[in-house]
Structure 1
């Protein structure tokens, strides 16, 4: 099938009568996942300053001015983040992106909630361990989102949807930094910022487990009309694809 054939096929597939469909809910949830994930990724940049403060806004807020591993804590996230980059895409394809995304976001959020606890009980090493585990789990975020967009997005909407979902990254950063700063400088203290983002992430994981799906074919409440529009003459990766062997070359002596 040529590009012209694909475009013609998609033109022949009428848009659903309802302007808001199941696919739009999937896109919005994926957008939120990126917003929350980037908030979790970046809030430590501000939080660590308050954690090591000598004069907190309220004397009851725990601080650790004697810590010496600030740079290590800030970089530890990326130690874990680089590990799954090689095989994450293949694992997501094999086991399905829905539950990979739900479980990894849940674990990521759980260890966000644990940062204040680990700081008080295990010190810098505990916080570093939490950040490494956060990064390890966020390494599956983009492979899962890529796969889901490939299955849920009709060809005419692909560029708009991808731009919308991936805008969640910078938006999550822009929101997280000032919000964490305001919380850290208030009487409720820096631990609340980690509790907030950990709670948001767990809440998102529950919503995604209830409302998300690997593909239109696996969603129980999508209409046949919308399902056909998403398929659009074979423009999505909804079906099973034949795996091609990796080419290799041999040289003759």
Structure 2
């Protein structure tokens, strides 16, 4: 184990200037890490609506039962014709899916590196690279077209693939079990707020500025985060030079310093663990539904509901506002349920995960039957994504429950396998919606309904919230008591 060195005197003096505990500072910076990751990921979903020639728009403003009439609030109907790029729906699906090809690749290496060396640099360098690729996106689009954009999005995914594994290691190293639901939900909620900002601000930018500024602004913000994070945050409490001594001692008691010479990762035990496969099942279901919404909600509102650019940004962001609020509330509720022994960790995670799967599946399909009633459709999508927010107090925290010592590796495995759906589902949506009509989209949502239900049932039957035997580095899954 690395020696826990005495805190330097200058660090103790500097700690007096920090009112907020360092674990909260880390959580806030972790929140903004995911925030930036998602703004850079989703802004293309808005930008692509003004880059491509519209499938359902003609100069006559024709209307059929398959699509809706043009939004009456659109002040500039000519802008509805979109851009100059004649990319098919299938090609657009491939562009939106390509990010996840790279995203999958770096998950497992990122988790292993974070487990071995700490999460700080694994996280920050990944975000830095994603920001750099975001800044050169306009150049790739203008001079390379769709193929260059696909390659660039793969590279962006490579950079961002380390985000969740590294943050899982940081949370396991900094956050006591009794605060895990609240601070974990705060950090993971950055995805929802990033989706809000990515959609809302992109809509405003596209309405008032040239489309390249969408990528410039979000890339620059991420670079600012990188600078602040590398100055303020450290991988472990006992290596932080200006943490308050009382917080340092508190975390030392709650979270013993990690053995950096721990045994090799017990791959056999992990990959033959039933709770682990139940977790993977829930991750697949969550990602299938979530990636469809993240990648395609702006296009659905543009191509089917025919919202104006500015309205699209606003209404595409509303579901994520609700999702963020629900993730924070459910995190606090989950903490209290566990702390007061009202319910076991296992059953708490199962209830939150079930609510986050069955509810969205129903409301997603319901939105497809609401037709062109824009208010009702937005309301149903908002409820759908709001309920999905309880995932973050459910299966998203399960890797930390199963194995604090290998949380990064577990998160890398589950998130990496789940991210495969990020490749499949956006591309499949493009194939299933060649004409971008309401009926085609209804089939898409029914498929998502089935995936969400089946995967959540598997989790609710076989998942666990208890530390597993492989946490000590052994390749054994035998457990004294594995009650639910």
Q: Distance in 1 between matches of 2:19 and 2:237?
A: 17
More helix by share: 2
1:194 aligns with 2:196: no
1:83 aligns with 2:105: yes
Q: How far off its partner does 1:237 sit?
A: 5.2
Q: How far off its partner does 1:197 sit?
A: 0.8
Q: Distance in 2 between matches of 1:245 and 1:140?
A: 18
- Cα-to-partner distance string for 1:97-116 (whole Å, 9 max, x where unaligned): 11111111000011001100
Aligned match for 1:105, one of 117, 127, 132? 127
1:114-125 pair list within 5 angstroms: 114-125=136-147
The 1:219–1:67 alpha-carbon spacing in structure 2 relative to 1, beyond 3 Å, is same
Runs of 4+ in 1 over 6 A off after TM superposition: none
Report which structure shows greater RCO (CA 8 Å, sep ≥6): 1
Q: Distance in 1 between matches of 2:31 and 2:238?
A: 21
1:170 aligns with 2:192: yes
Q: Distance in 2 between matches of 1:209 and 1:147?
A: 16
Partner of 2:37: 37
Please say if residues 173 and 237 of structure 2, whose CA atoms lie closer than 8 Å, have aligned partners that are also in contact.
Answer: yes
Please say if residues 28 and 187 of structure 2, whose CA atoms lie closer than 8 Å, have aligned partners that are also in contact.
Answer: yes
Please say if residues 110 and 122 of structure 2, whose CA atoms lie closer than 8 Å, have aligned partners that are also in contact.
Answer: no
1:230 aligns with 2:251: yes
The 1:125–1:28 alpha-carbon spacing in structure 2 relative to 1, beyond 3 Å, is same
Q: How far off its partner does 1:19 sit?
A: 6.4
Q: Distance in 1 between matches of 2:212 and 2:261?
A: 46
Q: How far off its partner does 1:200 sit?
A: 1.0
TM-score by length of 2: 0.44
Q: Distance in 2 between matches of 1:245 and 1:177?
A: 39
Unaligned stretches of 5+ residues in structure 1: 1-16
Partner of 2:28: 28
Q: How far off its partner does 1:244 sit?
A: 5.3
The CA RMSD over aligned residues, in Å, is 2.9
Please say if residues 153 and 236 of structure 1, whose CA atoms lie closer than 8 Å, have aligned partners that are also in contact.
Answer: no
Partner of 2:48: 48
Q: Distance in 1 between matches of 2:253 and 2:177?
A: 7
The 1:236–1:164 alpha-carbon spacing in structure 2 relative to 1, beyond 3 Å, is farther
Q: Distance in 2 between matches of 1:118 and 1:244?
A: 42
Partner of 2:205: 183
Aligned match for 1:151, one of 173, 179, 188? 173
The 1:109–1:20 alpha-carbon spacing in structure 2 relative to 1, beyond 3 Å, is same
TM-score by length of 1: 0.81
Please say if residues 184 and 190 of structure 1, whose CA atoms lie closer than 8 Å, have aligned partners that are also in contact.
Answer: yes
Q: Distance in 2 between matches of 1:50 and 1:36?
A: 22
Q: How far off its partner does 1:205 sit?
A: 0.8
- Cα-to-partner distance string for 1:169-208 (whole Å, 9 max, x where unaligned): 122112211211121122x121111111111111111111
Q: Distance in 1 between matches of 2:261 and 2:183?
A: 23
Partner of 1:142: 164
SS at match of 1:222: coil
